[in-house]
Amino acid sequence: MIVRLHAPMTGWVLPLDQVPDPVFADRMMGDGFAIDPLDAMVRAPCDATVIAVAPTRHSVTLRLANDAELLIHVGLDTVALAGNGFTAQVRDGEAVTLGQPLLLVDLDPVAAQAKSLITPVTVTSDGYAVTLLAIDTSVTAGDAIAEIAPVASDAAATDLGEDTAHCTIRVPLANGIHARPAARIVAALKPFTAEVTIVAHSRPANARSIVALLSAGIRHDDEIAIGARGPDARAAIAAIVTLIEQGMGEEAHAAAQAAPTAAISDDGLIHGVRAAPGLAIGPIFQFRPGDVAVTERGSGIPAETAALDAARNTLLAAADGKAGAGADIAAAHRALIEDPELLGAAQGLIAQGKSAGFAWRGAIRGHAEAIRATGDRLLIERIADLKDIERQVIALLTGTEAALPIPPKGAILVADELLPSHFAPLAEAGIAGICTAFGGPTAHASILAASAGLPMLVAAGAAVLELSDGQQVVLDADRGALNPAPDTATIDAVTARLAQRTARVAAEAAAALDLCVMADGTRIEIVANLANAAEAARAIALGAEGCGLLRTEFLFLDRESAPDEEEQRAAYAAVAAGLGGRPLIVRTLDIGGDKPVAYLPFPHEDNPALGARGIRFSLARPDLLAQQFRAILAGVPAAQCRIMLPMVIDAGELAAARTILDDARAALGIDTPVPLGVMVETPAAAMLAASLARDADFLSIGSNDLTQYALAADRGNPAVAAKVDALHPAVLHLIARAAEGARTHGRWLGVCGGIASDPLAAPILIGLGVTELSATPAAIPALKAVVRQLTLPDCKALAERALAAATAAEVRTLLEGAA
Ligand code: PEP
Ligand code: MG
């Protein structure tokens, strides 16, 4: 069926080639025409159905009677106006007739702020031919302009000439293109030179920009058009189509979106989303930090550009040094600081004579508004990160930090949302809990609250911002609610619960420094997993009896070159000193897999988890292994020193490593042998534990890797996260096999993977034959308290039953019954 299009506005109709934006001129958004408008009303060019008005109201997509999709994009770069100057006259899904008003445009302010008013009208779906009836002429709204006719369709990327291609796909990702998929798209495009644009809801977004992709508000099941221009246009499109269509490890079904509630609900509570568990009672403290003022007028384009570059570079350098949970946040911030759209918007403002600070703030706020306009909770959670880099860059530019209002100890802090960089000073002030009106459980401040053990409720709605300072409230993050006016009975009950919890934690902390002995007298060593010397002192204070796993790779990650022997020696010596003479198990370098190191080049591996990681890398670089052995031997006093090898599969690897260790000892003139153990992280090592134990001094289960390899479930892939359960009976059988092997040769068996920190799992592990648990330091007091209640015969009986279970769920049910 042929559909005739009529001019949507009065003006001059011109060919797309004359549109000063390659996205349209090169037909990445499909074929069509453009209008340079003289009137303010955009009208329907034919009878159609409105697919979507962009949240920022600068464009509209229509479905025509022959199923073609038509994009009317008012002006160029108008998404950045965040809806200012546009009024929608129709709603999504509405049927419209030829000439019916669609959008009202306030031409003067839009013309003043946008790159151009030229309005491209393009067919974004594949398989349609456009025949122009009028071009390079003035038209009045309603004049016939073009005809759209279907042609044979082709789902693959369509060549649009030598260097351009485009295609249309549907997004299978449950939560659409939120921050992580956006970052992966940007990364996937790095090897290509083509300019790539993604259009959704009639909004084109630069596919190399995380903020642009977030602002596009791409959701589950949206149809998106991808256009590319450049010598490798088709290959670039193929790369991202494959990435998106394969789902990037996201769930295939749309997840429930938690929307902020507007007010106090019928039960008298304000409901939100739990971001970090816990219960707290205290006075409200409304946290409203101000902005540092910036002057609008700049002092010249070169000076302002240089100032902005210097501030961004300083932040990029600071982001490089972060480790642990901070490293993930730093990586997200680094991507935003480097984002080409943000930078482009700021440079555009500097070019108009604005100061660097004014331009950076303007760029960030424009994008934040566009993201907020999507209404998508997951995307909106990233606004705090944008605001954080705004604050940090402006602090560097002005040399001034806005003074932070400091809450009283014990307060329940309330904010619209919390920036990650505000978190540390607030936590240090001793707040009891946090409740935010916006934000979400995956926002970075939420992750920090969870790791600091502070209860936090997010997305509680603007009602919380109305609560008065000093008002006593109960924050029950476990139940996702804040009680703004608790009665006396509630206050008493909560106070009692908190007192019980405090007493239990205090009792556990007081007993934490004692050795861990089970109720029947069996000795179990509880030691800590560490990454550096600072953690060692904290672990000892929490009751660690030594270190069961020092992850030495942290010394090698996030830097430009490898630490030399002396730097390594000093680092290992500092950890040993922090442990005050207690045993220290140093694991040799475990890089590769999910821990790549830029300056130690690995050949490309399709499947790095099964590649040259751990001991395989070390044996391929015996020079580095020998250097690490020498640094350990020189840095750690002999009485404390044990060495452990990661990712071993058989005694051959152990023997090869031991030869290098013996040579290192000889080089340093050390006669006494050093205990050398292996991690049981592969099913191979578990099956061959007896043969390994003949030559190894001890074995330690790396349950994180052992689980992923036993269950064929990538430990870093959220799509299979529920399957990566170390209590799966298949994993327990491998641990039992390792225990049997260790026993045969009188070696001890420990566990240093994540499951060692779970008090619920302790009876099974002990029942299987484990005598050492190496846990995360914070888990140690509670772990010791639980183990002290157990007896070995009970643990053995429980382990037998767990081995007979068919699924991880059955094992967990068994444990809940036993707890
Ligand atoms: C493990 O795999 O369980 C382990 C302790 O090693 P990592 O987590 O460092 O890979
Ligand atoms: Mg491991």
Q: What is the pLDDT of residues 662-713, one digit of tens each?
A: 999 999 999 999 999 999 999 999 999 999 999 999 999 999 999 999 999 9
Average pLDDT over residues 729-748: 98
Mean per-residue pLDDT over the chain, rounded: 87
Q: State the pLDDT confidence band at 321, using cuts at 50, 70 and 90.
A: low
- What pLDDT does residue 719 have? 66
| Residue 309 predicted with pLDDT over 80 | yes
Q: Residue 237 belongs to a domain with what CATH number?
A: 3.30.1340.10
Single residue among 379, 398, 417 that ends a domain in this structure: 398
In-domain check, residue 504: no
752 lines ligand 1 (CB under 6 A): yes
590 lines ligand 1 (CB under 6 A): yes
Angle between helices 780-789 and 488-511 (to 10 degrees): 80
The 8-class DSSP code of residue 104 comes to E
Q: What DSSP line would sit under 375-390, residue for residue? A: --HHHHTTHHHHHHHH
Q: State the pLDDT confidence band at 331, using cuts at 50, 70 and 90.
A: confident
Of 22 and 538, more confident: 538
Residues with CB under 5 A from ligand 2 (ion): 681, 702, 705
- CB 171 within 8 Å of CB 153: no
Which range of 42-51, 111-120, 154-163 scores highest in mean pLDDT? It is: 42-51
232 with 268, same domain: the answer is no
Scanning the structure block, which residue is given the tokens 């642990």? 324
In-domain check, residue 589: yes
- CB 806 within 8 Å of CB 728: no
491 with 551, same domain: the answer is no
Q: Residue 371 belongs to a domain with what CATH number?
A: 1.10.274.10
CB atoms within 10 A of CB 740: 16
- What pLDDT does residue 627 have? 97
Q: State the pLDDT confidence band at 157, using cuts at 50, 70 and 90.
A: very low
Q: Which two tokens stand for residue 776?
A: 């995360």
> Which ligand has the shortest distance to the CA of 548?
1
- What pLDDT does residue 220 have? 80
In-domain check, residue 517: no
- What pLDDT does residue 332 have? 73
- Of 73, 444, 547, 641, the catalytic one is 444
Average pLDDT over residues 580-591: 96
- What pLDDT does residue 230 have? 86
| Residue 38 predicted with pLDDT over 80 | yes
Q: Which of 679, 706, 708, 776 to mutate to test the pocket of ligand 1 (most atoms within 8 A of CB)?
A: 679
| Residue 258 predicted with pLDDT over 50 | no
434 with 468, same domain: the answer is yes
In-domain check, residue 506: no
Residue nearest to atom 8 of ligand 1 (CA): 704
Q: State the pLDDT confidence band at 55, using cuts at 50, 70 and 90.
A: confident
| Residue 643 predicted with pLDDT over 80 | yes
702 lines ligand 1 (CB under 6 A): yes
| Residue 639 predicted with pLDDT over 80 | yes
Angle between helices 729-744 and 792-803 (to 10 degrees): 130
542 with 462, same domain: the answer is no
Q: State the pLDDT confidence band at 316, using cuts at 50, 70 and 90.
A: confident
471 with 386, same domain: the answer is no
- What pLDDT does residue 116 have? 86
694 with 761, same domain: the answer is yes
What pairs with residue 150 in β-bridges? 128
- What pLDDT does residue 442 have? 66
Of 749 and 274, more confident: 749
| Residue 158 predicted with pLDDT over 60 | no
Active site residue 752: yes
176 with 134, same domain: the answer is no
Range of lowest pLDDT (151-155, 613-617, 780-784): 151-155
614 lines ligand 1 (CB under 6 A): no
Of 69 and 651, more confident: 651
> Which ligand has the shortest distance to the CA of 704?
1
Reading across the β-sheet that carries 101-105, which strands appear in turn? 41-43, 101-105, 86-88
Q: Which of 549, 649, 681 to mutate to test the pocket of ligand 1 (most atoms within 8 A of CB)?
A: 681
First vs last C-alpha separation in the chain: 69
In-domain check, residue 550: yes
State which ligand 1 atom lies nearest to the alpha carbon of 646.
6
Q: pLDDT over 90 for what percent of the chain?
A: 50
Closest Cα partner for 458 from 483, 430, 477? 477
- What pLDDT does residue 251 have? 46
Domain enclosing residue 176, as ranges: 164-251
- From CA 77, how far away is CA 739, in angstroms rounded? 65
Active site residue 367: no
738 with 684, same domain: the answer is yes
Q: State the pLDDT confidence band at 731, using cuts at 50, 70 and 90.
A: very high
Residue nearest to atom 4 of ligand 1 (CA): 702
Tens-digit pLDDT profile for residues 99-118: 999 999 988 888 877 778 99
Q: Residue 433 belongs to a domain with what CATH number?
A: 3.50.30.10
614 with 727, same domain: the answer is yes
- What pLDDT does residue 378 have? 66
448 with 320, same domain: the answer is no
Single residue among 335, 363, 398 that ends a domain in this structure: 398
Residue burial 31-59, b: 16+ Cβ < 10 Å; e: rest: bbbbbbbeebbbbbbbebebbbbbbbbbb
Task: Look at the chain and report how many structural domains it folds into.
Answer: 5
Question: Which are the contacts of 659, defined by CB distance < 8 A and separation ≥ 6?
Answer: none
Tens-digit pLDDT profile for residues 482-526: 999 999 999 999 999 999 988 998 899 899 999 999 999 999 999
In-domain check, residue 228: yes
Q: State the pLDDT confidence band at 187, using cuts at 50, 70 and 90.
A: confident
111 with 180, same domain: the answer is no
| Residue 358 predicted with pLDDT over 70 | yes
Which ranges constitute the DSSP H helices of 159-288?
Answer: 179-188, 210-215, 233-245
Single residue among 451, 476, 496 that ends a domain in this structure: 496
| Residue 155 predicted with pLDDT over 50 | no
118 with 180, same domain: the answer is no
Average pLDDT over residues 782-810: 97
In-domain check, residue 694: yes
State which ligand 1 atom lies nearest to the alpha carbon of 705.
2
The 8-class DSSP code of residue 430 comes to T
Tens-digit pLDDT profile for residues 366-388: 888 777 777 666 677 778 888 88
Which range of 241-245, 329-333, 617-621 scores highest in mean pLDDT? It is: 617-621
703 lines ligand 1 (CB under 6 A): yes
Q: What DSSP line would sit under 392-404, residue for residue? A: HHHHHHHS--PPP
| Residue 209 predicted with pLDDT over 60 | yes
- What pLDDT does residue 383 have? 82
In-domain check, residue 34: yes
705 lines ligand 1 (CB under 6 A): yes
> Which ligand has the shortest distance to the CA of 553?
1
| Helix, strand, or coil (residue 487) | coil
Q: pLDDT over 70 for what percent of the chain?
A: 92
Q: State the pLDDT confidence band at 594, using cuts at 50, 70 and 90.
A: low
Q: Residue 21 belongs to a domain with what CATH number?
A: 2.70.70.10
Tens-digit pLDDT profile for residues 240-256: 888 888 777 554 433 33
- What pLDDT does residue 259 have? 39
Q: Residue 625 belongs to a domain with what CATH number?
A: 3.20.20.60
- What pLDDT does residue 556 have? 87
